[in-house]
Amino acid sequence: MTKNKYGLFTCIAMIVGVVIGSGIFFKSDNILIATGGSITLGVLVFCIAAISIIFGSLTIAELASKNDKAGGIITYAEDCYSPAVACAFGWFHTFLYFPTLIAVISWVAGIYITILFNIEGTLEIQVLIGLAVAGALFITNLLSSRLAGYFQNASTIIKLIPLIVIGVLGLLFGNPGTLSPGNASNMSSSGWIAAIVPIIFAFDGWIVATSISHEVKDAKRNIPLALILSPLLILAIYILYFVGISMLIGTDNVIAMGDAHVDFAANQLFGPFGAKLILTCVVISVMGTVNGLIIGLTRMPYALAIRNMFPYSHKVSVVNEKLGVPVISSLVTLVIVLFWFAMHYITQKNNLLPNSDISEISITINYLGYIILYIQVFRYGLAGQIKGFWRSKLNPIFATIGSLIILIIGMRSPLFWFYALLCGLLILSAFVFWEKNKKRV
């Protein structure tokens, strides 16, 4: 595969572009409601939620600095444990984690596009528009990986504009007196959990940059840097927007207006076109998230195939010399995404997953898998292969705590064990496949 197509900025743009989607524009009211209007507790909740991504990134960065082979997390699992574990990681990401996220977020893009252009927002139309968005981005990634990288960079910058502008202008021109301290003393433990839930998954997706490690310039330097800098940037932007919007229109107004507070703030700052401007940025933001996930997903079957961990590996591992990408690998992932689009439509149409979607539990299980890698980094530290008490001990410990927080919250879903069983069967299938095919390697 063509080398050195992506630089540090694209790696950062992938992480920031995937992690920051549409949700952040609509989470401030949920946080304030759960914290009783307390800005201080709201900021604290953001920091707690960030534990998983900041320390997780710092920990995975230790593994990224050791290896730049194709596969990212597959490579790390293979080096840390065994090819069987790597195959399990790869199958989970290829068949479940990435494609379910792409299907759901593409559908979200369809929702916002119908709102932006005043189209009747039926489920069918939303899904069809989402399919068109995903299809267009798949084609872009297939025909020109550089163009896909440029779009990722541009969409990341565009999505940050409203967040930073509203945050900064809120701090400069907002009324600090409107920042009610809230009734934090009456916050129950369930309130704390409710405060974490709206944003905990907004930090997900940071691992995607490792999937293009073999196509990054000076990957052993740039991938760890991207994994370290991106989470800190994301947390800073989240807090800036949260505090700025609260100062601009007041915590009581944010709570009272709910999701509409974004339109109200936009109109105060930009006039009647504010709502359209913000919504346009949201659409681009969501598309940037989908694009980043597609960049990562399309490389997964290829990374597995070069290790003979995927069906018909001899075909899937072929790289098109003209395009510089594994075409069959990309087409395979498109078929997988189409399958999950159908599953998403069926579950939404028949309300089979109330207050949930097909991607929710796979995110939780994914963090459980990360713990396995964090433990190995800790072991490297004990063996003296990673220097520094903070890098070798504290980072993996805090990363594990962050993942356990997500796991505990995810287990509150009544469908958690059903999803967990599905994930377990997929992982078991990967182990069985590897055992039957390892002799060919």
Residue by residue, pLDDT tens for the chain (441 residues) are 445 566 778 778 777 877 776 667 656 777 787 777 778 888 888 887 777 778 888 888 888 777 767 667 888 888 889 999 999 999 999 999 999 989 988 998 898 888 888 888 899 999 999 999 999 999 988 887 777 777 877 887 887 888 888 889 988 888 776 555 554 454 544 555 656 655 666 676 777 666 666 677 777 777 778 877 888 888 898 899 889 988 888 888 888 876 567 778 888 888 877 778 888 888 888 888 888 889 888 888 998 998 889 998 888 888 877 777 788 888 999 999 999 999 999 988 998 776 567 877 777 788 888 899 999 999 998 988 888 888 888 889 998 988 888 788 777 766 778 888 888 999 999 999 998 887 765
What is the spatial distance between Cα 440 and Cα 424, in angstroms, rounded to a whole number?
25
Question: Is residue 1 in some structural domain?
Answer: no
What is the spatial distance between Cα 227 and Cα 20, in angstroms, rounded to a whole number?
15
DSSP helix, strand, coil percent of the chain (3-state; round to 5): 80, 0, 20
Rg, Å, the chain Cα set: 21
Inter-CA distances, 213 with 157, 174, 234, 303, 390, Å: 22, 43, 21, 11, 25
Question: Is residue 155 in some structural domain?
Answer: yes
H/E segment holding residue 63: helix 39-64
- List residues bridging with 216 in a β-sheet: 6
- What pLDDT does residue 409 have? 73
194 token code pair: 């409710």
- The Cα angle at residue 188 between residues 183 and 191, in degrees rounded to 5: 85
Question: Is residue 323 in some structural domain?
Answer: yes
- What pLDDT does residue 209 have? 64
Q: Domain range holding 76? A: 8-440
What is the spatial distance between Cα 224 and Cα 240, in angstroms, rounded to a whole number?
25
Question: Is residue 358 in some structural domain?
Answer: yes
Amino acid at 32: L
Going by C-alpha positions, the residue among 409, 413, 424 that lies closest to residue 51 is 409
Looking at residue 320, what DSSP letter applies?
Answer: P
Looking at residue 121, what DSSP letter applies?
Answer: -
Question: Is residue 2 in some structural domain?
Answer: no
Q: Which residues of 122-148 are buried (b: 16+ CB within 10 A; e: fewer)?
A: eeeebbebbbebbeebbebbbeebeeb
Question: Is residue 118 in some structural domain?
Answer: yes
CATH code of 71's domain: 1.20.1740.10
118 by Cβ neighbours in 10 Å (0-12 / 13-18 / 19+) ranks as exposed
Question: Is residue 306 in some structural domain?
Answer: yes
Q: Are 83 and 431 in contact (CB under 8 A)?
A: no
398 Rama class: left (phi>0) / alpha (psi -120 to 50) / beta: alpha
Q: Are 12 and 229 in contact (CB under 8 A)?
A: yes
186 token code pair: 């009456």
Q: Are 159 and 285 in contact (CB under 8 A)?
A: yes
Helices and strands per DSSP (H, E), number in the chain:
20, 0
Question: Is residue 381 in some structural domain?
Answer: yes
Q: Are 292 and 170 in contact (CB under 8 A)?
A: no
Number of domains in the chain: 1
Q: Are 378 and 392 in contact (CB under 8 A)?
A: yes
H/E segment holding residue 418: helix 416-437
pTM of the model: 0.80
- The Cα angle at residue 156 between residues 72 and 105, in degrees rounded to 5: 75
- What pLDDT does residue 2 have? 47
DSSP helix/strand/coil, 6: strand
What is the spatial distance between Cα 336 and Cα 231, in angstroms, rounded to a whole number?
29
